[in-house]
Amino acid sequence: MGEMKAFDCFQCPACSPHQKAVAIDGNRKLYRFRKQEGNTDKALFHGVFVAPDDEVANFVDTIRAVTTHKSGRGSCGNTAARETSQKSRARLDEEGLEIAVCRHGFLQGALNMCRGEIFAYPLFLHRKLRADFVCTDIACKYWPYLCRVGDARADIKELSEKTKPFLSVMHAKAHSLKCEIKWGGMNQIGAGKTLGEEVEQVNSYMSRVGFTTKHMTKAG
């Protein structure tokens, strides 16, 4: 019984004790309306999987206070993200979830996106979930951002020194050829057969569940 109590359900047994890769991506289909019924109810497992909103907001504000970034889209191919962004849909409390999983699809962490898909969100999860490779569909934009933040904060600089960027294999096909060669996961030494697309499978499932729940309630 003691062993069951000590079991970490967000830690993949196959990835322990040293995790090879973590895949991080946002899912904007898991949004929540401001006027949704039950919106003020306290979560039963607050902070267990989805990080507390105030903790995330404080981190984002801290990062912005020590660095200067250009606003606008950071895009390559069909992928897109922003360094800075305002809430794009005023009717929403959250615009979706940023989710992190291991190579085997184990859910490891998430946060509510309140400002769209900004680079500070994957950075928040990145610093909590250490692995050899950090897989995203915006690696070519996220990693230069990470290095710039690292110039101002030693703890962030450590991330760029101890982990490596990994552009998700499938998404790399939508990037330029030069970008795919430099950042693509198939070209990263030591990555093995890592795909970096595992979070897409999780997002697909959660999107289906989210929309099913939405249409079964009056919240839609």
In this predicted structure, the answer to whether residue 206 has a pLDDT above a threshold of 70 is: yes
Question: What pLDDT score was predicted for residue 117?
Answer: 80
Question: What pLDDT score was predicted for residue 85?
Answer: 53
Per the structure, the complete domain to which residue 162 belongs is given by 21-28+45-215
In this predicted structure, the answer to whether residue 200 has a pLDDT above a threshold of 50 is: yes
In the three-class reduction of DSSP (H, G, I as helix; E, B as strand; rest coil), residue 76 is classed as strand
Mean predicted confidence (pLDDT) in 190-213 = 80
Write the pLDDT tens digit of every residue in 10-20: 788 888 888 99
The tally of domains found in the chain comes to: 1
Answer whether residue 13 is part of any domain.
no
Give, in order, the Cα–Cα distances in Å from 35 to each of 1, 19, 210: 43, 40, 17
Answer whether residue 123 is part of any domain.
yes
Predicted model pTM:
0.79
Give, in order, the Cα–Cα distances in Å from 115 to each of 31, 97, 147, 159, 197: 12, 11, 22, 24, 23
Question: What pLDDT score was predicted for residue 72?
Answer: 47
- Taking phi over 0 as left and psi of -120 to 50 as alpha, with beta for the rest, 196 belongs to left
* Cβ density class 179-195: b for 16+ within 10 Å, e for less: bbebbbbeebeebeebb
Answer whether residue 15 is part of any domain.
no
**Helix axes 154-162 and 120-128, enclosed angle (nearest 10):** 70
Sign of the torsion formed by the C-alpha atoms of 114, 117, 119 and 124: positive
Question: What pLDDT score was predicted for residue 91?
Answer: 54
Answer whether residue 1 is part of any domain.
no
Question: What pLDDT score was predicted for residue 66?
Answer: 83
CA distance 188 to 184: 7
User: Per mean pLDDT, which of 3-17, 78-92, 196-210 is the most reliable?
Assistant: 196-210
Question: What pLDDT score was predicted for residue 90?
Answer: 53
Answer whether residue 177 is part of any domain.
yes
Write the pLDDT tens digit of every residue in 108-128: 999 988 877 899 999 999 999
In this predicted structure, the answer to whether residue 7 has a pLDDT above a threshold of 80 is: no
Alpha helix stretches (DSSP H) within the chain: 2-5, 53-66, 120-128, 139-150, 154-162, 169-172, 177-183, 198-215
Question: What pLDDT score was predicted for residue 210?
Answer: 59
Answer whether residue 120 is part of any domain.
yes
Answer whether residue 192 is part of any domain.
yes
Question: What pLDDT score was predicted for residue 146?
Answer: 94
CA distance 135 to 194: 9
Answer whether residue 101 is part of any domain.
yes
Write the pLDDT tens digit of every residue in 35-87: 555 555 666 667 888 899 899 999 999 998 887 765 545 446 444 555 555 55
